[in-house]
A and B are shown apart, each in its own frame.
Chain A
Amino acid sequence: MILRPVLDDIRTIGYFLGKIIIGLGLTMLLPIALGLAFKETNPVSDFLIGIEITLLFGFILVKLCSTDNDLNWMQGMIVVSLSWLAAMVLGAIPLYLSGHWRSFLDACFDAMSGFATTGLTLAQDLDHLSRTHNLWRHLIMFIGGQGIVVVAISLFVKGFSGAFRMYVGEARDERVLPNVVHTARFIWLVSLVYLILGTLALGLTGILNGMRPVNAFFHGACIFMAAFDTGGFAPQSQNILYYHSLPFEIITIAIMILGAINFKLHYHLWNGNRREIIKNIETLTLFATIAATFFITALGLERTGTYPRVIVLFRKGFYQVVSGHTGTGFMTIYARQFINEWGNLALVGIISAMALGGGTCSTTGGIKMLRIGVIFKALKQDLKRIILPERAIVAEKYHHIKEVFLEDKQVRSALLITLAYLVLYFAGALIGMFFGYPFLESLFESTSAAANVGLSCGITDTHMPATLKITYIIQMWAGRLEFMSVFTLFGFIIAAIKGK
């Protein structure tokens, strides 16, 4: 028997949702401050309208649903899934008001793409978008990469058990520190330290390439936020190709990989446990899978003869593979080159890289390295069972901060999430095919959306069918939250309709 949710459930959900929305509204102060500094009056007014609606909505929810109750697991999960949808709608308001998006759905698509750190965009005339709006596009990636709930936890929420439930609902199943508030603050510490280093490195490179200092550091900060949070937006429509700079590409490769590293691993490395990076199952798997997917891509590119010079093949191929694998979506080629010049084999290499993703408890999407490593270890264990005598005890272990013995429940969990991702990738591809796009192109774009990557082979365009836009929005949302809180929301809706 399904129990119908009671009013108390809805009040508790509404109260915490309201708090998160207020937190989101306050982050709009940053683009407003930048807009005032650059005297961008019209963009500032877009944000004043956006912040007003967001804060009003948040305060009304908090006031109407005021409660002392703590969140239970179900409520925590629902708060998370709803807060991402609310962030999409409210975060899209200033974007839509800029006039650079053809419809509110397009602005919602970009807002979800930003929050989910995907990087697919439907913006029109991006090269003339104001700095204020550009900062917002990149800031929502920064917020989404850390996690909307992580932002709220670090700012407003005291260390209660409900905070942990929301934290888990946001696809972060590992706590860096025993206290979830301290974990959230450590995530911010790592991000802010790298924000300073990364912006400096990219800004100075920009200046050396002839950009004006203010512009160079603005681009540096934006590109850093998109790279470390494995997002993929860029201030210019040509993405990273705009800069035509090898140092810029090398720095962004480093930042993308840093963003794909588990925050728990950052913590251990920063506290002196430096050998962890060469022992950890995630970094070992990332090393192997980047090499393997690059091998497939390079083989494909070599067959098609797209890049006769090896050095160019390496520069273009490796960049796209790292960008896809870390779930960033930066591009140093034009979207249609994937289809017209790269050939099917290279495309399969990139799709595989995108599907795999980076570290758990990082800012990436996709299946993730820990799960791939666990599945590989399980396969190895089963092979050993076949080869060794029946009486032999076969125990497999892996290193993830500490030595862990492989258990069936870990393998089951890894396989279930992997299966869910594969279904999501192929479901999106089927819908793409329904609208007439070829299989490989549909699978490419669908995987890119669901694994929160942002590489595009050209399907993502303002003229694509609205149903496909909504499909990609759902894929980005479900893929970023790793299904559980999304499934809980659907369960809640069913319980509200059919429950007793």
Chain B
Amino acid sequence: MNIKSLLNPVAGIATEIVYALLIILAGALIALAITYL
């Protein structure tokens, strides 16, 4: 088993968590900013 095939799921999980936390959060923060403008 090569290292790349092991790293792919790890990088995939990291991508998903970044999406779940940061990208979605950024969208909500923009929405909040518009609310108060």
Contacts and interface: CB of A to CB of B under 8 A. Distances in A.
A277 B31 CA distance: 21
Pairs A-B, 3 closest by C-beta atoms: A291-B27, A257-B20, A269-B12
Contacts of B27: 287-288, 290-291, 294
Contact of B16 (A250, A258, A291): A258
A288 B26 CA distance: 11
Contacts of A310: 32, 36
26 contacts: A193-B13, A197-B13, A254-B20, A254-B21, A257-B19, A257-B24, A261-B19, A261-B20, A269-B12, A272-B8, A272-B12, A274-B15, A277-B15, A278-B23, A290-B27, A290-B28, A294-B27, A294-B28, A294-B31, A294-B32, A295-B32, A295-B34, A298-B31, A298-B35, A302-B35, A314-B28
A272 to B, nearest CB: 5
Interface of B: 8-9, 11-13, 15-17, 19-21, 23-25, 27-32, 34-36
Interface string A231-250: 00000000000000000001
A318 interface: yes
A481 B19 CA distance: 28
A318 B30 CA distance: 12
Interface string A431-453: 00000000000000000000000
A99 to B, nearest CB: 39
Contacts of B32: 294-295, 298, 310, 313-314
A271 B8 CA distance: 6
Contacts of A278: 19, 23
Contacts of A288: 27
Contacts of B36: 302, 310
Contacts of B30: 291
A270 B13 contact: yes
Contacts of A290: 24, 27-28
Contact of B28 (A193, A266, A302, A318): A318
A292 interface: yes
Nearest to A288: B27
B24 A250 contact: no
A193 B19 CA distance: 18
For A255, A269, A283, A322, which residue has the most chain B Cβ atoms within 10 angstroms? Answer: A269
B19 to A, nearest CB: 5
Main secondary structure of the interface of B (DSSP, over half): helix
A348 to B, nearest CB: 15
Interface in A259-313: 261, 266, 269-272, 274, 277-278, 283, 286-288, 290-292, 294-295, 298-299, 302, 310, 313
Interface footprint category on A: 35 or more
Contact of B24 (A255, A269, A286, A298): A286
B2 to A, nearest CB: 12
Nearest to A296: B31
Given A250-B21, A257-B24, A269 B31 contact: no
Nearest to B21: A254
Contact of A292 (B15, B19, B31): B31
B37 to A, nearest CB: 11
A356 B21 CA distance: 20
Given A295-B34, A298-B35, A274 B17 contact: no
Nearest to A274: B15
A253 interface: yes
B4 to A, nearest CB: 8
Contacts of B20: 253-255, 257-258, 261
B13 A291 contact: no
B24 to A, nearest CB: 6
A272 B9 CA distance: 7
A286 B9 CA distance: 22
Contacts of A322: 24
Given A193-B13, A291-B31, 10 more contacts: A197-B13, A250-B21, A254-B17, A257-B21, A258-B20, A266-B16, A271-B9, A277-B16, A278-B23, A283-B19
A250 B21 CA distance: 8
Contact of B12 (A254, A270, A283, A286): A270
A291 B8 contact: no
Contacts of B9: 193, 270-271
Contact of B35 (A255, A274, A295, A321): A295
A277 B11 CA distance: 12
